């Protein structure tokens, strides 16, 4: 516990008394974001599609002394979205932060050979679900609340093996701008665009020989980590970023990021 307290002291307590929801947060970047917000004092609501994964993640975070609550939520399921918001409000009475992290990339096919069903799934989960979740959450968001959308460096330059995924992440850059306009001045909306981060989700581009190749593309000579992304998301969600909205913070080690 002393080690955790040292970490808490080092990173501060910017979310003391606040309630944060993080979608797709039982592993990888989402889990790291939930952990960071919890270490900084937030009551964190984590979610994922499978109860087993939710239970395991909750246990890990509680073992670190964090206040955490788990809800099963497949973001494409309307009832699941409703339950995530309602159960959060029932338990904590409000919502201060939402981090929209859920995404899929079910195909590496070229765009012109991608099945319509796959195109629909990518759009539904990577883009539309964020809008629908915020429709449920908006009545409960506090003044000074913050939304952080997880986009991707792929949104700036979609690669052949993840073309439609990249296009959906480009859409999130525009969605961030549109939501920031609509939700101001009560709620700020920003995005994080991670570079290459070796997680289970990105294993097909960051494993084995892909590691060295992708490291060489960065100016800092290394891949990103979930904690790098968590630090960026926590900054944007915090009052340290209280005069920032409608922006995307690229956290990619210097990878090119021009549209």
Annotated catalytic residues are: 165
Instruction: Give the DSSP letter string of 93-145.
Output: S-EEEEEE--------S-GGG--HHHHHHHHIIIIIHHHHHHHHHGGGEEEEE
How many angstroms separate the CA atoms of 110 and 177, rounded?
A: 28
Q: What is the DSSP letter of 150?
A: E
Strand 68-72 to 95-100 pairing = unpaired
What values do phi and psi take at 149, rounded to 5?
A: -105, 130
Q: Which residues contact 214 (CB under 8 A, 6 or more apart)?
A: 196, 205, 206, 223
How many angstroms separate the CA atoms of 118 and 124, rounded?
A: 10
Please name which of 64, 57, 56, 170 lies closest in space to residue 122, comparing C-alpha atoms. 170
| Residue 249 β-bridge partners | 192
| Residue 145 β-bridge partners | 187
Side-by-side strand order, sheet with 43-48 = 68-72, 43-48, 19-22, 95-100, 141-150, 187-194, 248-251
How many angstroms separate the CA atoms of 119 and 108, rounded?
A: 12
């Amino acid at each position: 516990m002393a080690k955790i307290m040292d970490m808490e002291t080092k990173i501060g307590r910017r979310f003391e008394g606040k309630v944060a929801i993080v979608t797709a947060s039982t592993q990888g970047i989402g889990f790291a974001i939930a952990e960071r917000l919890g270490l900084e004092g937030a009551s964190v609501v984590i979610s994922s599609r499978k109860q087993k994964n939710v239970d395991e993640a909750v246990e890990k975070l509680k073992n670190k002394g964090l206040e955490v609550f788990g809800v099963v939520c497949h973001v494409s399921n309307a009832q699941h979205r409703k339950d995530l918001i309602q159960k959060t409000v029932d338990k904590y009475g409000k919502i201060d932060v939402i981090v929209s992290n859920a995404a899929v990339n079910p195909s590496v096919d070229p765009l012109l050979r991608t099945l319509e069903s796959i195109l629909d799934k990518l759009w539904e989960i990577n883009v539309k679900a964020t809008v629908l979740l915020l429709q449920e959450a908006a009545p409960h968001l506090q003044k000074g609340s913050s939304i952080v959308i997880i986009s991707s460096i792929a949104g700036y330059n979609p690669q052949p093996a993840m073309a439609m995924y990249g296009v959906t992440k480009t859409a999130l850059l525009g969605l961030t701008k549109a939501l920031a306009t609509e939700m101001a001045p009560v709620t700020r909306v920003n995005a994080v665009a991670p570079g290459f981060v070796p997680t289970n989700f990105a294993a097909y581009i960051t494993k084995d020989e892909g590691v060295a190749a992708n490291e060489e593309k960065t100016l800092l000579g290394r891949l990103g980590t979930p904690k790098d992304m968590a630090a960026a998301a926590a900054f944007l969600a915090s009052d340290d970023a209280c005069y920032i909205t409608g922006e995307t913070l690229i956290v990619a080690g210097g990878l090119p990021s021009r549209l």
